Amino acid sequence: MHYAPAKREPELLRKQNHKMKIKSLAVALVLLGAAGCKTLSPASGSTNQNQPTVLQVDNQGFIDMDVFALRSSQRVRLGTAPGASKSNFTIPPSLVSGLTPLRFIADPIGGRRASVSQEITVAPGDTVVMTIPAV
């Protein structure tokens, strides 16, 4: 028996493919936003070992995100960044000693795929800003 290929894609399958493309685009945009981390050093010009190291998250999307700091293979939860709001999280001093390369993870609550930022070098007392764009 030989089956001829379908000439037209069923309407339901087309809609599912369209939704998958939108979700893939959304994940890509979040990843780009998470990669938009930058470090702001204290105004004094020298980092103070006693000052807290802070992650400022500007979640411009509507989905709440669990936020993690990642050093090598150590993943530490910093907290939840509610949708459409700004949040500040203190990075534990145990993660930052001297100049430390870190990545940050934004994991959508109820979502399937977390976004990981580029590696950024952080020193004690720095403020890191991460923007999660609206999708």
pLDDT at site 135: 81
Which helix (H) or strand (E) segment holds residue 89: the answer is: strand 85-91
pLDDT at site 50: 83
Averages of pLDDT over each 10 residues, the chain, 135 residues:
49 46 44 51 56 96 97 97 98 95 97 93 97 91
Query: What's the one-letter identity of residue 63?
Result: I
pLDDT at site 27: 45
Please name the residue that has the structure tokens 């936020």: 67
Q: Which two tokens stand for residue 53?
A: 């190291």
pLDDT at site 23: 45
pLDDT at site 19: 44
- What does the alpha-carbon distance between residue 118 and residue 88 come to, in Å, rounded to a whole number? 19
pTM of the model: 0.68
Q: Which two tokens stand for residue 123?
A: 């020193």
pLDDT at site 98: 93
Say if residues 132 and 106 touch (Cβ distance below 8 Å). yes
- What does the alpha-carbon distance between residue 34 and residue 60 come to, in Å, rounded to a whole number? 11
Domains and CATH numbers, the chain: 11-132 (2.60.40)
